Amino acid sequence: MGLIQNVLAVIVVLGLLVTFHEYGHYWVARRCGVRVLRFSVGFGKPLWSRVDRHGTEFAVAAIPLGGYVKMLDEREAPVPRDQLHEAFNRKSVWQRIAIVAAGPLANFLLAIVAYWALFVAGTTTVAPMVGEVAPDSPAARSGLQGGQEIVAVQGSDVRSWDEINLRLIADIGFSGELTIQARDDASADSREYRLPVQDYLVRQDPPQPLPTLGITPWQPRIPAVLDQVIDGEPAAEAGLRAGDVILTVNGNPIEEWMDFVSVVRASPGETLELEVSRDEESLALTLTPGSRELETGAAIGYVGAGVEAVEWPEELRREIRYGPVAAVGQAVSRTGEMTLLTLDAIRKMLVGLISPTNLSGPITIAQMAGDTARTGLESFVSFLAYLSVSLAVLNLLPIPVLDGGHLLYYFVEVVRGRPVSEQAQAFGLRIGLALVGMLMLMALYFDLMRLW
């Protein structure tokens, strides 16, 4: 069931992103007088198609991993003399720039609309309160203490752990003192804490902003009550069911969920004797956790079960909501922040501060799309917005075969006063195909490594 949800979620996500992207090209091309021959969502054999009154074929193809807009162009096929004025290559350089740039700009617009909808509908989060501070960690050396609420990071106000993580991720590679402002309670003034770091988060896979600083977020006590048990995994094979309460493991009492998690992680392949409560009756079960290998080579145990959610205290719940007008500015600002974060991540990956193993391909995207869809509409829309920004930024990179590569050629044409030669464009196309192909293979390889 999880695989089916992942596949459906990624089809919906990619379908929306590709449709908006290609519609941007199509809409501007039509207004520049270019004849569009085909608007296709997906590649390969069309599963459905129709032709409109302008002669454009709209199609949904079998492979839902992209799409394209095919325009009338003398470089691709002979064009009748009476249609030359509708050919893409006959348009002015500024019209061609507008048509090519419209795809990424449509993705930016989609992200703005998605963030706007989230801000208008309102998002519920929890106050970023520190739970524990690890001894001899940067947070401990700064004087930060458990029970304090973080209100700003590096001078920027924050209202949730998501915002804190975004601010900290932006400082990958930083050496010096990270500044965090925190307060003891909602009525107290905040104080500034300086956390000493060296090459912060460099080459971590994946980056762990909070554990690296020695900060553990506060969370309410979570009883060891199972909410879901995945078929075919060790928990299900042991006879565990949703609603079971874990009482003891090997005779040792389990006070809360993390006690059980700690035992499981430390016991890959070992037999554990469980006492569980089910329908007010006590049962004895035998559980053998499976084994998963970490990047470090160490193995940890897992059982394939989830915990029952608990309610957070009302005083720690935060609702972030804006009016329709104010939400526009917030949405544009958030889209800008995510754009800069993506560009900075690409730069840091090129200079070696971020491990290339953080590249994500279709498998990871499918898993994340499925996970966010299961979490709820809010998470799914937020993921869609972030992916739309990423697609826009990547398409604007000056690599031939991408929109950014075409824009590079056209801006060179503006400066030189004549087009880049077809030989130079063909050579650049080969380089671009090689680069993009290499990146896709790397991303797929790292996807498979994560699965294994």
Residue 364 lies inside a defined structural domain of this protein: yes
Domain count, the chain: 3
Shared domain check, 236 and 211: no
Residue 108 belongs to some domain of the structure: no
Distance, in Å, from the CA atom of 374 to the CA atom of 423, rounded to the nearest integer, reads 50
Residues 341 and 446 in one domain: yes
User: How does pLDDT run across 140-151, given as a tens digit for each residue?
Assistant: 999 999 999 999
Average pLDDT of the residues in 312-331: 89
Q: Please report, for the domain that includes residue 284, its CATH number.
A: 2.30.42.10
Res 73 pLDDT > 50 = yes
Cα separations in angstroms, 379 against 109, 131, 134, 324, 345: 19, 24, 30, 20, 22
For residues 74-96, give the mean pLDDT: 93
* Res. 214 pLDDT band, cuts 50 70 90: very high
Q: What token pair was written down for 410?
A: 């056209």
Quick one: pLDDT at residue 1? 46
**Which of the four pLDDT bands, split at 50, 70 and 90, describes residue 88?**
very high
To the nearest 10 degrees (0 to 180), the angle between helices 377-395 and 2-31 is 50
Residue 418 lies in a domain: yes
Residues 190 and 258 in one domain: no
Structure tokens at 18: 């590709």
Q: Counting beta carbons within 10 angstroms of the beta carbon of residue 1, is it exposed (0 to 12), middle (13 to 18) or buried (19 or more)?
A: exposed
Q: Across all residues in the chain, what is the average pLDDT?
A: 88
Assigned domain for 338 exists: yes
pLDDT > 70: what percent of the chain?
96
445 and 340 in one domain?
Answer: yes
Residue 74, in any domain of the structure: no
Q: 341 and 429 share a domain?
A: yes
Domain boundary among 277, 308, 339: 308
- Percent of the chain whose predicted confidence (pLDDT) is above 90: 53
In a domain, 391, yes or no: yes
Please state, in angstroms and rounded to a whole number, the distance separating the CA atoms of residues 208 and 150: 17
Among 275, 308, 341, the domain-final residue is 308
pLDDT band at 12 (very low <50, low <70, confident <90, very high): confident
Q: Are residues 445 and 345 part of one domain?
A: yes
| 331 is a domain residue | yes
* Domain, as residue range, for 246: 226-308
Check pLDDT > 70 for residue 356. yes
Q: How far apart are the first and last CA of the chain?
A: 20
Tell whether 90 is covered by a domain. no
pLDDT tens for 17-43 read 999 999 999 999 999 999 999 999 988
Catalytic residues, by residue number, are 22
d(CA 128, CA 168): 14
Which pLDDT score, from 0 to 100, does residue 350 have?
85
The verdict on 171 and 230 lying in the same domain is no
- For 407-429, the pLDDT digits (tens) are 999 999 999 999 998 888 888 88
Helices 362-375 and 377-395 meet at what angle, rounded to 10?
150
Q: Do residues 343 and 430 make contact, with C-beta atoms less than 8 angstroms apart?
A: no
265, 335: one domain: no
Question: Which band of pLDDT confidence, cut at 50, 70 and 90, is reported for residue 440?
Answer: confident
* Omega before residue 419 within 30° of 0, cis: no
Residue after which a domain boundary falls, among 308, 341, 356:
308
Nearest to 60 by CA among 45, 71, 73: 45
User: Residues with Cβ < 8 Å from 168, sequence gap 6 or more?
Assistant: 153, 178, 201, 209, 210, 213
Q: How far is residue 301's CA from residue 258's CA, in Å, rounded to a whole number? A: 14
Q: Is the pLDDT of residue 206 over 80?
A: no
- pLDDT recorded at residue 38: 94
Q: Average pLDDT in the 159-175 region?
A: 89
pTM of the predicted protein model: 0.79
- Shared domain check, 289 and 340: no
How far, in Å, CA of 439 to CA of 349, rounded? 12
Res 4 pLDDT > 90: no
Q: Would you say residue 275 has pLDDT above 50?
A: yes
Residues 368 and 326 in one domain: yes
- Residues comprising the chain, all counted: 452
Q: Per residue in 378-415, pLDDT tens?
A: 888 988 999 999 999 999 999 988 999 999 999 999 99
427 and 350 together in one domain: yes
What pLDDT, on the 0 to 100 scale, is given for residue 120?
95
Query: Is 60 exceeded by the pLDDT of residue 2?
Result: no
pLDDT of amino acid 397: 93
Can you tell me whether residue 69 is helix, strand or coil? strand
Question: Whole-angstrom Cα distance, residue 361 to residue 447?
Answer: 6
Calculate mean pLDDT across residues 107-112: 96
Residue 286 in this model has a pLDDT that exceeds 70 = yes
Whether residues 333 and 287 fall in one domain: no
